[in-house]
Amino acid sequence: MTEPKPSARIGGKATDKPQLTRDNWLDAAAGEVAAGGFGNLRVLTLSKKLGVTRGSFYWHFKDHEDLVTSFLNRWRDRRLHELLYWKPDVNSTGDVEAELKSILELLLTDASRNIRRLQVELAVRDFARRNDYAADLVAEVDAARIDQNCLLLQRISSDPRRVRDLSTLLYVATIGSQVVLTGQKGDEDAISRIEDLLARVVLGQGDM
């Protein structure tokens, strides 16, 4: 309560210890989650890496659970929000094949490069297997992404069920490749080949 006054900031000369924000803690938490999953998200180690004591943490967060749920919420919000940046134009007349390929590149090649982001996503997904709240958020994000792909695939098939199935297949294939092809040497190659193959496969499954 008491409206977190927007600017009660202090100090800030240079090495004046910039006064951590809640988001700073969440960013650091992302590092821990990416490295060791949610089971490795400890208040103590987090404080050490930020150069403060746990006293700081318990000012910004109620407890450990608060940190986890805040992290999950921010993750959900960002994942849903980023979908707006490449929302396909429903009544576009552009090249479907080109659009599909660019989306596939985004989902596969591009995603496999942002290692940090990918690690966090896999960790969240793993955590969702034993945490109901996380499971809900993951389901929400999955549904939104699949729906998004449906918007594009509508242009290669008029059967809504087929569109949805293709979109689901495309999605599970991308998630699977992110899980399986994990930075081994030669994976970069395998990913781009999967990418091409998926494009052919999807385009070949249009109206017949």
Partner DNA sequence: CCACAAACATACATTAGTGTATGGAACCAA
Partner DNA sequence: TTGGTTCCATACACTAATGTATGTTTGTGG
Under the rule (CB under 7 A), what is the footprint of DNA? 2, 4-5, 8-11, 16-17, 19-21, 42-45, 47, 51-56, 58-60, 63-65
- Tell me which of 47, 112, 148, 174 binds a copy of itself, using CB under 8 A: 174
- 8 Å CB contact between 162 and 156: no
Interface with a copy of itself (CB under 8 A), residue total 41
CB of 10 to a copy of itself, least distance (A): 38
The smaller minimum CB distance to a copy of itself, of residues 11 and 39, is found at 39
- Closest CB to DNA among 36 and 206? 36
Start-to-end CA span in the chain (Å): 60
8 binds, options a copy of itself, DNA, none, Cβ within 5 to 8 A by partner type: DNA
Q: Does 101 bind a copy of itself (CB under 8 A)?
A: no
Question: Considering only 10-18, 54-62, 97-105, 128-136, which stretch makes contact with a copy of itself by CB under 8 A?
Answer: 128-136
Binding residue for a copy of itself, selected from 100, 107, 137, 166, defined by CB under 8 A: 166
Least separation in angstroms between CB 203 and a copy of itself: 11
60 binds, among DNA, a copy of itself, none (CB under 5 to 8 A by kind): DNA
Cα distances from 63 to residues 21, 26, 60, 66, 153, in angstroms, run 16, 13, 9, 5, 44
Q: Which amino acid type is present at position 121?
A: E
Q: Looking up tokens 């929302």, which residue turns up?
A: 87
CA-nearest of 171, 174, 159 to 205 is 159
10 is in the binding site of which of a copy of itself, DNA, none (Cβ under 5 to 8 A by kind)? DNA
